[in-house]
Structure 1
Amino acid sequence: MKQNHKNIFRLIILVLVLNSCNSYEKLTYLQDVEITEKASIFEKQKPGYQIQAGDLLYVQIITENQEINQLFNPTMSSASSQYIRPETMFYTGYLVNDSGFIEMPLLEKIYVSGLNIDQISDSIKQKAFRFLKNPQVIAKLANFKFTVLGEVKVPGVKQVTANQVNIMEALAYGGDISYNGNRKKILLLRQTAEGTQSYRINLAKGNIVDSDMYYIMPNDIIYVEPLKSTLFREQASDYVFVVSALSSTLTAVALILNLLK
């Protein structure tokens, strides 16, 4: 009986070890992408996120007149104008109101809803030309944030200063998918005018770069599912503990019975 218990225990340990070895295919991105001289697969046009009510914009207008610069950028000195910190963008940004407008000194109301960042920069620049000489406009989305959950190394809400972030970069902000993450089963939740839309992403396939989900949008939620082997290991570890405890108990009982004979 004691030998049978040991064999069962060894068998469970062996199954655990075999299932803990994730294959190369489970850990590799873009497996079907062929290496060629052409890079057309990565030439997808970046979609422009359309600004909507509630978004926060950072806008900097630079001219040759320092007094004018201080009017539009009161917290930015000429020495620091090239470096834009996230906290600075938050406190000096322009909130898009429910009507789709932002209000700026001298330029007053500017309609930005439904426009992308480049279009907003052009619109502000055209209006600034009426009052200023050779203005230069820098515009950014100040509240580009997204959430990464599940089997990643650093889950949480991520705040970035970039105007565009793709799914690979988003996962990199989360420390990359962990060893136990399923690269073929990633859930993307996106807020739209119609409500929350859900998408399934398979990062093992190269066609993701041609997908509408390749570039994420502000407020997206990315969830990486665990591999089935991960769930098995967690459950099996509980079984091993129970079997080990039971085996020890039976061994102790057998020993006591032998002593009583």
Structure 2
Amino acid sequence: MNWKNCILGGALSVLLFSCGTRQEINYMKDIENLVLDNSVKNSRSTLQPGDQLVITVSAKDMDVVKPFNQVYSSTSTIAQHSTQSSNNLAQQVPSSGPTYNVDTDGNIIFPQIGKVSTKNENLETFRLKLTDLIREYVKEPVVDVKLINFKIAVLGEVARPGQYVFSEGNTTLLGALGMAGDLTPYGIRTNVLVVRNVDGKFTKERIDLTSAQFINSPYYYLRQNDIIYVQPNANREKAARVDPNTGLYISVASVIASLVIGILALTKN
């Protein structure tokens, strides 16, 4: 009967192994630390090297401001991978106008003026700074500055997690979540994490999307390189821990158990 005991023992081992749970998957561990690390690498609250700015200058007499728009070509467009389509492919969002890249020292080279620093400037303060500089040459200039590679990362339980670029230079928490296809049924809507850089200090805030009060949060309007993380609920975490081959193990164990029962029945006869 030793061989019968071996078969029964093997079948029970397979059953026990198939019903066991796997160790928690890596991306579920210390997720806040992972998001903070990512934010340290990418977050910034002011204009930074690598930013792309579209700057246009206008006035009552447009001929007067032509020298300040001399790099502009009305036929040129800037392709931005700012949205993702349903098949997760990047779409192009055209944006036309004189385009300036912030160099590694935080400067741009502007027509007639030369080097202009963007250090410690956000879009509005830089627009006012540039307006004052142009006012020395033009009466009542109107300056428009857009950041066309404004990036937000959306992670966790959303339909299309990833990094998104907004050609408008700004967006809201709802706008970013909408761009990512909204939360999945497994996302916790009462505990959405937003991580950002504020003057060199990294902060985080948890948002309850089920309460209208979150619109008053300073994290409702997003900043450059904010990171949004939607936490999975308990059902998703349990499903993530279970071995994906559990069904196969159970099927094999069932076959073995059937064979054992059949063999035992034959030996009794």
Measure, in 1, the Cα distance between the counterparts of 2:233 and 2:45: 35
Q: Structure 1 unaligned runs (5+)?
A: 1-48
Match of 2:157 in 1: 151
Q: Which residue is equivalent to 1:105?
A: 111
Residue aligning to 1:191: 197
For residue 140 of structure 1, report the CA deviation from its aligned partner: 0.9
Match of 1:57 in 2: 53
Is the CA contact (8 Å cut-off) linking 1:60 and 1:138 kept in structure 2?
A: yes
Match of 1:251 among 232, 252, 258: 258
Matched, 1:119 2:132: no
Q: In the superposition, relative to structure 1, how do residues 195 and 51 fare at CA in structure 2: closer, same or farther (>3 Å)?
A: closer
Matched residue, 2:181: 175
Kept in 2, the 8 Å contact 1:190–1:196? The answer is yes
Give the count of matched residue pairs.
210
Name the CA distance, whole Å, in 2 between partners of 1:245 and 1:85: 54
* Farther off after superposition, 162-171 or 100-109: 100-109
| RMSD of Structure 2 on Structure 1 (CA) | 3.4
* 1:72 lines up with 2:69 in the alignment: yes
| Equivalent in the alignment of 1:8 | none
Change (3 A) 1:173 1:232: same
Deviation at residue 112 of structure 1 after TM alignment: 4.0
Give the TM-score normalised by structure 1. 0.66
CA contact under 8 A between 2:127 and 2:144: conserved in structure 1? yes
Instruction: Find 1:216's aligned residue among 214, 222, 226.
Output: 222
Paired residues of 2:157 and 2:187 also in contact (CA < 8 A): yes
Shift of 1:173: 1.4
* CA separation of 1:121 and 1:85: change in aligned 2, threshold 3 A: farther
How far does the alpha carbon of each residue in 1:50-73 deviate from its partner, in whole angstroms, 9 at most, with x for none?
Answer: 634424422112354458536524
Give 1:159's aligned amino acid: V
Give 1:214 shift. Answer: 1.4
Q: How does the TM-score come out when normalised to structure 2? A: 0.64
Contact 2:73 2:98 in 1 (8 A): no
CA deviation map 1:220-259 (0-9, x unaligned): 1212121111122342865454334323321222123323
How many Å separate the matches in 1 of 2:141 and 2:73? 16
CA distance in 2, matches of 1:210, 1:253: 66
Change in CA separation of 1:153 and 1:212 when aligned onto 2, cut-off 3 Å:
same
Residue 176 (structure 1) shift: 1.0
For structure 2, the residue ranges without an aligned partner over 5 or more in a row are 1-43, 81-93
**Deviations for 1:20-46, whole angstroms, at most 9, x for unmatched residues?**
xxxxxxxxxxxxxxxxxxxxxxxxxxx
Q: Is the 8 A contact 1:57 1:139 kept in 2?
A: yes
| C-alpha deviation, 1:74, in angstroms | 2.0
* Structure 1 partner of 2:35: none
Counterpart AA for 2:46: I
SS at match of 2:175: helix
Equivalent residue letter for 1:144:
F
Q: What SS is found at the alignment partner of 1:216?
A: coil
2:34 corresponding residue in structure 1: none
Secondary structure of 1:165 counterpart: coil
Distance in 2 (CA, whole Å) between partners of 1:226 and 1:129 is 53
Name 1:46's counterpart in structure 2.
none
